[in-house]
Amino acid sequence: MKKLVSCMACLLLAAVVGAAGTAAAQDTSRQIIRPAGVTGNFPYSPGILVDGTLYVAGQGSANAQDVRPSDFPAQVKQSLDNVRGVLQAAGMDFSNVVWMNVYVSSADNIDAMNDVYWNEIGANPPARSVMVVGSLVGSDTVEINCIAVKDKAHRKAIWPQGWPKGEHKDPPAIQANDVLYLSAQNGADPVTGKLADSFSGETRQALDNVAAILRAAHMSMKNVLWVNPYMSVGGQYDVMGSVYKTYFEFGNTPGRGTIQIVALPGGSHIVFTCIAGADLAKRKAIRPRNMPPSATASPGILYGNTLYLSAKDGFIPGQGMVTQDFDLQLRQSMRNLLDGLEEADMDFSNVVFTTVYLRQIQDFDKMNNLYKTFFKGSYPTRTTMQQNTDTDVEAAEQISFIAVKTANH
């Protein structure tokens, strides 16, 4: 095994760092968004604006002076203020946001987070997902990322007929031009609010809810580009997969990142967050040669010029995980992601939105120091967390990408 790991290290270093080194010069159509007063040499950008879409990095609760409020409600407000700062630097506000993810480190704080959220977000809230994770960087309590669009004239909320509306209720989805962003859908009946009585039942109900939203937007499951199933229980991956695969066409499934977290609101055991595209002529499954067709996930989906890549960990196709070494796993994860990028005629310089899920937050510095070597010129936005408290799993990390190919590259 030592010999295999040593050889693997050499090959991965040459292949991946070499590919990163050939990244194109800074693309003038891709703008880094940095609020005034925000400094620091971090390996991520606060925001990336490309083709009228703004990708905002995960924003914690420290201000520009790296001072964190002492109580949780103030921490949530500061996190939202940090998001607002990136939006304003791009000439936007919360009404431009279409998709938001809120990560908290304790289920006990969900209600308090929601109180602040609804006081701050305004009259046109985005599609939203709320997850409880194992840990956040710097022992933070909350982190929020989002996607926003310049064109508010073609931004609208989607509500299936008969679904209840009301104050302080997330819209089921937001459609911006031909892209649909869904709030997390759980396994509860949307009218009665009752959860299904089994994990497979929750999975089916959640996917039925996704399908209902798509129908309301004149789409179907064929239009889904990217899915993140978040599960609050272990040992149910195959149960979820056996239901999930019945909703999609073999070999043409969406990109996907299946993440086990600590908890979900309302006692849910699974939710699905999704992005869909209305024009099927613009949708293409991306599959490198070393990845066979799958009933449950495509390596990526290219929609127009935007690539949604499945989350990857440090497996070698055909061999599985062959090392416990963190650096080698991370290099292999990036190699796997690069395979998808190259299949779409892109490279690391096209990445705009990254999510890093760690087995242990203690690996943050190690990840940070290696991660930054793959990007030349400018960094994408990034959100980083420890996904749960199970530190015995084989995979040390998982990473997902959204990448955009611009006219200049």
pLDDT range class, residue 294, cuts 50, 70, 90: confident
Residue 409 has pLDDT above 70, yes or no: no
User: Per residue in 14-25, pLDDT tens?
Assistant: 444 444 433 334
Q: Cα 277 to the chain's mean position, in Å?
A: 16
Please state which architecture CATH assigns to domain 46-150: 2-Layer Sandwich (3.30)
Does this model's pTM top 0.85? My answer is yes
Question: Where are the domains positioned within the chain?
Answer: 46-150, 152-304, 312-409
Domain 312-409: state its class.
alpha beta
User: Average pLDDT of the chain?
Assistant: 92
User: Per residue in 43-54, pLDDT tens?
Assistant: 999 999 999 999
User: Per residue in 69-85, pLDDT tens?
Assistant: 999 999 999 999 999 99
Torsion angle of C-alpha atoms 15, 20, 23, 25, degrees rounded to 10: -150
CA distance 228 to 230: 6
User: 3-state SS string over 22-45?
Assistant: CCCCCCCCEEEECCCCCCCCCCCC
Say if residues 171 and 127 touch (Cβ distance below 8 Å).
yes
Beta-ladder partners of 49: 31, 54
List the one residue out of 218, 300, 216 whose CA is nearest residue 257: 300
152-304 carries CATH number 3.30.300.20: no
What pLDDT was estimated at residue 37?
81
User: Per residue in 147-191, pLDDT tens?
Assistant: 999 999 999 999 999 999 989 999 999 999 999 999 999 999 999
User: Per residue in 239-274, pLDDT tens?
Assistant: 999 999 999 999 899 999 999 999 999 999 999 999
Residue 315 has pLDDT above 90, yes or no: yes
Say if residues 147 and 54 touch (Cβ distance below 8 Å).
yes
pLDDT range class, residue 28, cuts 50, 70, 90: low
In this chain, the answer to whether the domains covering 46-150 and 312-409 adopt an identical fold is yes
Give the contacts of 92 (CB within 8 A, at least 6 positions apart).
54, 148, 150
Secondary structure element (H or E) that encloses residue 178, with its range: none
List the one residue out of 208, 216, 167 whose CA is nearest residue 185: 208
